[in-house]
Structure 1
Amino acid sequence: MPDAPLKQVQTPTVSPRPSACPGLWRIVSARDGGICRIKLPGGLLLADQADAVAGAAERFASGVIEATNRGNLQIRGIGNDHQGLIDSLLAAGLGPREAASDDVRNLMLSPLAGHDPAMVLDVRPLAAQILELLQGTTRFHQLSAKFALQLDGGEGLAMLDHPHDLWLSALRLEQRTWLAFGLAGCPADGQVLGAVPVEQGLALVRAVLERFLDLATPEQARMRQLLEGCPVNRFVEGLGLNIRRDAAVLDWRREAGNSPWLGALEQQQGMALGIAPPLGRLTADMLRGAARVAREQGDGSLRLSPWQSLVLPNIAGASIAEAQRDLSALGLLCHNHEPLARLVACTGSSGCAKAHGETKADAVTLAAMLPAGAPASVHLSGCQRSCAVAHVAPATLLARSSGRYDLYLRDARLPGFGALRAANLTLKEAGAMLALPTEHLDD
């Protein structure tokens, strides 16, 4: 049986507060129509809900559905009937009946939370408590719609590079499970500020959010902005909890997740299947097809991932190949070796007024140029905002005009996309450079 959806708060409807960030209740205008973002509880989407999203995208929009880099879905090209779209999604249990509650549901888990063979902790019960706290605490509705949390159970399939306002990561010390935590960063950056016993995880989240709201000015919407003027040790010392901060905690480092996110994935019991829409964009038929496979060969659930992909858990190993054939026929990526699996691209100028190039179309062209030795991940961004990727990719092509890109290589010593390697390249020139062995790219 699939995991039960995390508890939804049912309260009277209210008008959305002002924000540029789309949500279920807040449909934001773009060049290709409105955008509605569906924030999924821990990335969980039931098969019947997937069918509802597909139907809503066809009925009220252009049929374009996107997987986001924080494990959510969004519908693009929405027409004039906003309320009809919202009502259809609410009827499928895809959000709370209050805009402010929906805004703060920014909690990222591994798509194999509760199933990953490497996990230290099944974080789903604590995740449900955190989401209920965020949705049901009126004061926390003051948080920015971008304020984000990560709960990491030590899974092998884990995105550890996305920055979060608060992250928590499970570890074992002295035969006990603890939650290490950090602020305005990610588990991969090594900046552990302390740890609490797992039983105090919810209290830690509450204390951090309350202290943030106590200290932050209206201009300080994110934790990193607050910490520019508030020493991090002062922030932690004021939490009012017994936080462990000895060397065993402060020197602990999260091991990198090394599990693939496409293809057959190992679970503690059975198998899962990782699939991805090309460049993060689903058709209604793709989503329905994934829902059908999840229902017929899995447990009736899908998990959205921060790689703009989906995981179908609890599929019998003997059924994996058949499921891959069915889903490949719909245009979904099912194997790591597929060229488009290595590329990420934003919406591009056809859908976004800020973009300087048709990044998605250019990514399809570029995919045919890249040999096996090219960077494992190449990001095409239409502008500096980097909407498609929350972390820095090994290689980034930043559009400067139609068909022209600047090439950056990731460099931990430099901000932004990294080191500028070449400027004003045609797509063919960019492809030729990326086809060079990595050591030559760095020359």
Structure 2
Amino acid sequence: MPPDKAGIIPRLYPSTGSPVNPTPALNTLRPSACPGLLRIVQALDGGICRVKLAGGAISAAQANAVADAAQAYAGGVIEATNRANLQIRGIGAEQDALIAMLLAVGLGPSHAAGDDVRNLMLSPSAGIDPQMLFDTRPLAGQILAILENHPRFHELSAKFAVQLDGFEALAMLEHHHDLWLSAFEQAGETLLAFGLAGCPGQDAPLAAVRLDQGHALVVAVLEAFLDLATPEQTRMRHLAVDKLLSRLNVPLLPADGFKRPASSAPGHLGSYPQHQQDLFYVAAVAPLGRLNPAMLKGAAQLASEHGDATLRFTPWQGLLLPNLTQPDVVIEQLTQLGFLCAADQPLAHMIACTGSSGCGKGLADTKTDALQLAALQPGHAVHLSGCPRSCAAAHTAPVTLLAVSPGHYDLYFRDAAHPGFGRLHARTLSIEATGALLRARPRSNTDD
């Protein structure tokens, strides 16, 4: 979506109204351990501010403001999250000034109580993907507007999440959501299949609706959930599906023929043609999900000079620059900034949480250990987690290292027959031993 004259992307799409008041009252915030833009949560390395982005999109002007805020009021550490949002770490005493700077460029919610529930994931290539069945962004704007502005939906858990999938080639299909909607074709008509407490890449849908009923379905599901859930039942997986479905007042259709295959070329690294003729997007990842202000400002400058002055963050802890005519030039300059743009770079397939350097629950310095492991050329996509909470990965990685002590990990391989991280293969491995074991193991066709 193009920015307005001030370089700010309106948070509501054109079909849903005008941008909303960027200065919500803070006295409506509820207690929560999850950071938001208005709620700074403390960690070992300082405060954490999470900036939720509509569909992962941010204007170049807004990206510059995030970089300036991180530089001026924090430790200069910016993180791309696995839900296509941004985090600023290491915030000091001037957190109010940081919040004010981000609110001033339109990165806040319309109501303070709505900040927690702006959890809607789209494909990073929404509206530009050659494979898409429809442009999800207008419907996403309607869903985000009702989440932010309907007071009852502010009761939802800060972790309650919705996914809207337009059948794009570039889509994260393994992150579980409380409600997912996925486009497919049936008898020449594009419908939305939907499911609860799962994901379109792994689970069968419950039913389908017509596209013009997508917004009504989301509202009906959320209302039914809140009607049925006790205070302890905060996620969709806590409820009986049949009981919820019986309360929906939306015409449901069979989802016959639905199949959402994962792309063999995910498209989150490199250059790809868009749906629009002669235009391209470039996708890259930030090493271990971290950017510094210079990297973010540099990417914003590239978006302004070569694209439409917008950036999109991705669930692979990276970014996408759309609407480019010279993608090779952009890839070269992103690489010079420190982004990873090629699949043959081992670090491009590493995920690591904050680890013991910034989190009190971390049992190992996962970021440092990941750099060491990448240098050993393991040949697999690896997730290093400092504790069982798995904050860095919302899906099960092909290989997971679960920290047990500084520099030592239990090793798991993804296995559908085993829940959680998968099948335990070895205990208390050093990074050197892990690298040797993985190099000797053939790469699986289930690797990312």
Q: Counterpart of 1:435 in 2: which secondary structure? A: helix
Q: Which residue of 1 aligns with 2:54?
A: 41
- In 2, distance between residues paired with 1:175 and 1:182? 22
TM-score normalized with structure 1 length = 0.94
What residue in structure 2 maps to residue 348 of structure 1? 355
The partner residue of 1:379 within 358, 380, 383 is 383
The alpha carbon displacement at 1:152 in A equals: 0.2
1:190: Cα distance to partner? Answer: 2.6
Partner in structure 2 of residue 419 of structure 1: 423
Matched, 1:437 2:441: yes
Match of 1:192 in 2: 205
- Find the partner of 1:322 among 300, 304, 329: 329
| Displacement of 1:6 | 3.0
Q: Distance in 1 between matches of 2:330 and 2:251?
A: 49
Q: Which of residues 222, 236, 239 is equivalent to 1:209?
A: 222
1:222 and 2:222 matched: no
* C-alpha distance 421-12 of structure 1, shift in aligned 2 (>3 A): closer
Q: Which letter does structure 2 place at the counterpart of 1:5?
A: P
Shift of residue 438, structure 1, vs aligned partner: 2.8
* Residue of structure 1 in register with 2:270 after alignment: 263
Match of 2:432 in 1: 428
Give a deviation string over 1:123-166, Cα, whole Å, max 9, x none: 00000000001111010000011100000000000000000000
Task: Give the distance between the partners of 1:358 and 1:266, measured in 2 at CA.
Answer: 39
- Does residue 2 of structure 1 match 2:2? yes
| Alignment correspondent of 1:132 | 145
Pairwise CA RMSD: 1.6
Three-state SS of the structure 1 residue aligned to 2:201 is helix
> 1:344 is matched by which residue type in structure 2?
I
The number of residue pairs the alignment matches comes to 430
Measure how far apart 1:95 and its partner are: 1.2
Q: For 1:258-297, what aligned pairs fall within 5 Å after superposition?
A: 258=264, 259-269=266-276, 270-297=279-306
User: Hey, what does 2:372 align to over in structure 1?
Assistant: 365
Post-superposition shift, 1:414?
0.8
> 1:5 & 1:265 partners in 2: Cα distance?
26
Q: Work out which of the residue numbers 14, 26, 44 in structure 1 matches 2:26.
A: 14
1:28 aligns with 2:33: no
Q: Is the contact between residue 397 and residue 406 of structure 1 (CA under 8 Å) also seen in structure 2?
A: yes
Asked whether the 8 Å contact 1:410–1:418 carries over to 2, the reply is: yes
Alpha-carbon spacing, 1:12–1:70, altered in 2? closer, same or farther (3 Å): closer
Give the conservation status (yes or no) of the 8 Å contact 1:212–1:223.
yes
Cα distance in 1 for partners of 2:377, 2:411 equals 15
Match of 2:410 among 383, 399, 406: 406
Amino acid at match of 1:184: A
Offset, 1:260: 2.0
Residue 240 of structure 1 and its aligned partner are, at CA, apart by: 1.6
Q: Give deviations 1:335-383, integer Å, cap 9, x for gaps.
A: 1111210111001100000000000000001001125xx22x1000000
Are 2:48 and 2:88, in contact at CA under 8 Å, matched by a contact in 1? yes
| Superposition TM-score, scaled by structure 2 size | 0.93
Counterpart pick for 1:84 among 97, 103, 123: 97
SS in 1 for 2:299: helix
Question: Which residue matches 1:176?
Answer: 189
Deviation at 1:439, TM superposition (A): 7.4
2:15 paired residue number: none
Structure 2: gaps of 5 or more residues: 4-8, 13-18
1:426 Cα deviation (Å)?
Answer: 0.7
Task: Measure the CA separation in 1 of the matches of 2:49 and 2:365.
Answer: 22
Give the % identical residues: 56
Shift of 1:233: 2.1
Per-residue CA shift, 1:305-348, capped at 9, x if unaligned?
A: 000010000111xx222222222122111211112101110011
Unaligned runs of 5+ in 1: none
Give 1:328's aligned amino acid.
T
Correspondence for 1:301: 310
Out of 329, 337, 343, the position equivalent to 1:336 is: 343
Deviation for aligned residue 1:191: 2.1
Shift, 1:409, TM fit = 0.1
